[in-house]
Amino acid sequence: MADKKRGIHELYDQDPLEADALIWGRKTDPVSRRGFLTNSGLVAMSAAIGASIPFAHLMPGGLIPAAFAQSDEPFAIPGKEGLIVLNDRPLNAETPAHLLDDDVTPGRYLFVRNNGRPPAVSTIDPDTWTLEIGGESAERNVTLSIAELKERFNHHSYQLQMECGGNGRSEFVPPTAGNQWSVGAVGCPMWTGVRLRDVLEHAGVKDDAVYVAYYAADTHLSGDTSTVPISRGVPLAKALEKESLIAWAMNGEDIPHMNGYPLRLVCGGWPASVCGKWLTRIVIRNKVHDGPKMTGASYRVPCESVAPGSDVPDDQLCIIESMPVKSLITYPKSGIEHGAGKALAVRGHAWAGDRDVKEVRVSIDFGATWKRARVASPANRLAWQRWHADVEFTERGYYELWARATDSAGRSQPMVLPGWNPRGYLNNACHRIAVQVV
C-alpha cells in the first residue's frame, strides 16, 4: 500500500474515493460511485485479497473490500463470549455477525451498550429491588417489588428484536462521533415479564398522558450520583402494545448483568435505548419526555435529508422511533473458502422495526443482480425473521456476498449507505461478507 503509516480504515474515513485512488489506483465517478480499477490496481487488490475478482468492474467506489473491513478479535467480558469491545468508558461491545446465527440470541452473544456505569452485581438483590410508577399523568404513585410484579400480573414471553440506534455507525462518511459499531449491536432473545400496559393501568393513566419513560440504577461516568446518564421513553401507544414488557428473564434465565439484571424494559423494534436496563422507575408524562438523551441530537435524525457533514439545528431533528429494515448474514463467516461450482447454503436474519420483512435477496456481483431468498415468518410480532438462500460461484476468485431486505411497506435497504446524519444513526446498508472461491 502507498502509505504504510496509516491504516486502511483511517484512509477511507478521511476520503474514501481518494483512498481508492491512493491504495488501488481506482478511478471513480463521485456521483455514481462506479469506476474502474487500473490494470495495476486490479493486480494490487487481487494480490492483497489473495484471489482474482470476477466482478471487479461492478464494485462501487469508496468501498473497503469486506475482506479487510471486518474483524472478530475477541474481548473478555464476564458472561459474554467473543464480543468486540468498542469502548471501556462506558463499556460497549458488539457481536461478530457469525456469532448471531442462533434463531434465539443466547445471552452470551447479546451486545453490550452502556451510557453510564452499571450497578455493581454485589449491590443488586432481586428480593429487595423495587419499581416505582408515577409521573404527572399517573393517577397514583405505586411501588412494586419484583415478587409483586410476578404475583399480581400475568406473565408473557416474546422473542423481541433489539438494536442499538447507532448500529453501523462506522460506515458513515464523513465519520460521526460515538461508538463505531459495525453490524453486531443487535440481537433477538426471548424475554419474559409482565406487560408494561398492565402495570401502567394498575397505577392509572390520566387522559392527558402522551409519553412513558424510565429511570434506572446506572450512574453517570462523572461519579456524580445526582446526574442521570440516560432517561428515555416512548409514546403512550408504543408503551401500551402487548409486546412491550417489564422483563426479569431472558431465554428462561435471569437477564445477564450487562443487559439489565434484575429488571428492564423491552420495547421491540425501536432503538434499544428506549429499553431501560436496571429499571427502578417509570413515569407517565403529559408531554414528550425530556430526560437525558431525549433532547438535542441524541437519538434524533434530520427530519429532512441533509448533505453529508451538515450542521443541523436541534429543531430540525426528529426522534427515532421504529427502526428501518435491515438484514444480517450469519453463515458463512466472512472470509470463508468455498469450492467453485459447488452450491453454498447461506443464511441470516432480517427485521424491520414495527413492520414485517417481505423479502430478502442476495447478490454475488456487487448488487448488479439479485437472487430471492426464502424468508420464514417471525416467531411473533417484532421478532427477526430467518432467511436462507443457495448461491453458486462458477469461477474462482474473490467475491462479496451481499444481503438486502425489503419490509412490508415496500422499503428496501440501500446497497451502500443511507442518508447521512450528524450522529451516525440508522445505517441499514446491505450487509456483505467476503468469500474466497478456490
The predicted structure's pLDDT at residue 72: 47
Is there a domain that residue 187 lies in?
yes
Classify residue 281: in a domain, yes or no.
yes
Please determine, for residue 6, whether its predicted confidence score (pLDDT) is greater than 60. no
C-alpha cell at 139: 393517577
Q: What per-residue confidence (pLDDT) applies to 150?
A: 98
Distance CA 206, CA 12 (A): 53
Decide which of 288, 319, 350 is a domain's last residue. 319
> What is the b/e burial string over 175-191, where b = at least 16 CB atoms within 10 angstroms of the residue's CB?
bbebbbbbbbbbbbbbb
Mean per-residue pLDDT of the chain: 92
Are 42 and 173 part of one and the same domain?
no
Q: 424: left (phi > 0), else alpha (psi -120 to 50), else beta?
A: left
Q: Are 405 and 359 in contact (CB under 8 A)?
A: yes
Strand partners, 317: 302
**pLDDT, tens digit, for every residue of 143-167?**
999 999 999 999 999 999 999 999 9
Q: For 172-227, what is each residue's pLDDT tens digit?
A: 999 999 999 999 999 999 999 999 999 999 999 999 999 999 999 999 999 899 99
Whether 182 and 142 map to the same domain: the answer is yes
Number of Cβ within 10 Å of residue 10's Cβ equals 12
Shared-domain flag, residues 163 and 33: no
Give CA–CA dist 147/126, Å, rounded: 8
Phi, psi of 426 (to 5 degrees): 60, 35
Q: What is the predicted pLDDT for the residue at 70?
A: 57
Find the DSSP H helices in 60-138.
66-69
The answer to the question of residue 296 being in a domain is yes
Domain stops at, among 16, 32, 64: 64
Task: Please check whether residues 310 and 353 belong to one and the same domain.
Answer: no
User: In this structure, are 287 and 332 located in the same domain?
Assistant: no
135 and 205 in a single domain? The answer is yes
**Alpha helix segments (H runs only) across 275-389:** none
Of 201, 213, 208, 200, residue with least CA distance to 270: 213
- In a domain, residue 77? The reply is no
CATH of the domain at 330: 2.60.40.650
Residue 254 belongs to domain with CATH number: 3.90.420.10
pLDDT at 105: 98
Please tell me the distance from the alpha carbon of residue 6 to that of residue 80, in angstroms, as a whole number: 32
Confidence of residue 74 (pLDDT cuts 50, 70, 90): very low
218 plus 267 within the same structural domain: yes
Shared domain for 369 and 284, answered yes or no, is: no
Residue 273 has pLDDT above 90, yes or no: yes
The answer to whether residue 381 sits within a structural domain is: yes
Asked whether residue 3 is assigned to any structural domain, the reply reads: no
**What is the pairing mode between strands 26-28 and 357-363?**
unpaired
75: pLDDT strictly greater than 60 = no
Domains in the chain, number? 3
Any idea of the CA torsion for 255, 260, 265, 268, to the nearest 10 degrees?
Answer: -70
Of residues 346 and 222, more confidence is placed in: 346
pLDDT at position 256 over 70:
yes
3-class DSSP state for residue 9?
helix
C-alpha to C-alpha distance for 350 and 98, rounded to whole angstroms: 14
Could you tell me what percent of the chain has a pLDDT over 90? 79
The mean per-residue pLDDT over the stretch 246-264 comes to 98
Nearest-angstrom CA–CA distance, 378 and 160:
10
| Residue numbers of the domain that contains 228 | 84-319
Average the pLDDT over each of 56-70, 101-115, 198-212, 349-363 and give the range with the smallest value: 56-70
| Co-location of 159 and 262 in the same domain | yes
**Could you count the other beta carbons within 10 Å of the beta carbon of residue 344?**
19
Among residues 289, 319, 349, the one where a domain terminates is 319
Long-range contacts of 30-35 (CB under 8 A, 24+ apart): 33/60, 33/61, 33/62, 33/416, 34/58, 34/60, 34/61, 35/61
Whether residue 70 lies inside any domain: the answer is no
pLDDT of residue 18: 73
Separation of alpha carbons 124 and 127, rounded Å:
9
Residue 57 confidence (pLDDT): 82
Q: Answer yes or no: do 266 and 388 share one domain.
A: no
**Contact, 429 vs 181, CB < 8 A?**
no
Mean pLDDT value of segment 381-405: 97
Q: How much is the average pLDDT of 6-30?
A: 68
Check whether residue 28 and residue 118 sit in a common domain.
Answer: no
Residue 78 in any domain: the answer is no
CA distance 21 to 214: 49
The pLDDT assigned to 17 comes to 75
> What is the secondary structure of 175-228 as a DSSP string?
--SS----S-SEE--EEEEEEHHHHHHHH-B-TT--EEEEEES-B-TT--TTS-
Query: Which is nearest to 98 in space by CA: 184, 38, 217?
Result: 184
Reported confidence tier of residue 282, pLDDT bands at 50, 70, 90: very high
Whether residue 214 sits in one domain with residue 102: yes
Average pLDDT, integer, range 279-285: 98
Residue 246 pLDDT > 90, yes or no?
yes
